[in-house]
Amino acid sequence: MVKALVTGANKGIGLEIARYLGHKGISVFIGARNEEKGQAAVQILRAEGLDAHFVKLDLNDFGSLHNVAKQVGRLDYLVNNAGIPGNLKSDKGQLDMSKSAFAYSTDDLRETLEVNFLGTHELILNLLSNLADDAKILNVTVPISGNQFWQPLAYITSKAAQNSMTMAFGNQFIKDKSKRQIFGVMPGAVATDLNGAQASRFVKKPEEAAQIISDFLFDGKNHNAKIVDERGKEIKSYEPNLSKIMGFASTFVRSFKKIIHRLNSRGSVFVLT
């Protein structure tokens, strides 16, 4: 049986991703911190004939994260969707996505980073031994460069850290010659409880976003160590100039090694360390 764990799956995008995977014949674990809401989501999916199970999962409670591995067994897919928006309250309302960047306190940043980044980090580490040899980890993410109208500092800071982790873990899979993949997907603007937005021509419904996100798991492409947007375009690097320099350095080292090899084959002795 192919199995998947979706975090934050009691509602919104998470529930729709679980539903989408369930209709593909995958056994889905509904990860949620609130058991009542999580079990309600399980019943909704089971009523549709899907194989769904609840697992208590609170990114702010490492104890609950440590117990997840015992409950889910081997996993083929891990979708990290759970997270908090950070303190968006301002004099304009409870969910002010354009709140002044100067209005976020250190505690606001710490709380959001602990949940969205450290919690997700801890969960992945605890599930490494559960992952199938060709398992895929998908992290739902967002652009980390805000603008004058959308700059939720605590949230995008936590996602920037998560994106860096995604690329680092992916490169470690490559280094370890693993067939596993980890990548991030930015589905674009979506109407959720986190942002209070309403679906429109420019804002997707959760089910629309869920299909976009989930399809990357089955498109037959290797997205490991990448962050991609809703069209599949890779976000190359946060430091494009550094990326070019590192690419040049890598090409130079490979070329230099070939030269040394040729010289050694002609009787000269060179050691490249």
Query: Does residue 115 sit in helix, strand or coil?
Result: helix
What length does the chain have? 273
Q: What is the pLDDT of residues 209-233, one digit of tens each?
A: 999 999 999 999 999 999 999 999 9
What is the percent of the chain with per-residue pLDDT over 90, rounded to a whole number? 74
Asked if residue 265 has pLDDT above 80, the reply is: no
Question: What value does the mean pLDDT take over residues 49-77?
Answer: 97
Question: What value does the mean pLDDT take over residues 106-132?
Answer: 98
Predicted pLDDT at 95 = 83
pTM of the complete model beyond 0.75? yes
Predicted pLDDT at 253 = 52
Confidence of residue 44 (pLDDT cuts 50, 70, 90): very high
pLDDT higher at 207 or 256:
207
Q: Determine the Cα–Cα distance for residues 49 and 226; give it in Å rounded to an integer.
A: 34
Q: What is the pLDDT of residues 227-251, one digit of tens each?
A: 999 999 998 755 544 444 445 555 5
Asked if residue 197 has pLDDT above 90, the reply is: no
41 burial type by CB count under 10 A (0-12 exposed, 13-18 middle, 19+ buried): buried
**Buried b vs exposed e over 188-211: b needs ≥16 C-beta within 10 Å?**
bbbbbebbebebeeebbbbbbbbe
pLDDT higher at 271 or 109:
109
Predicted pLDDT at 242 = 44
Question: What value does the mean pLDDT take over residues 88-115?
Answer: 93
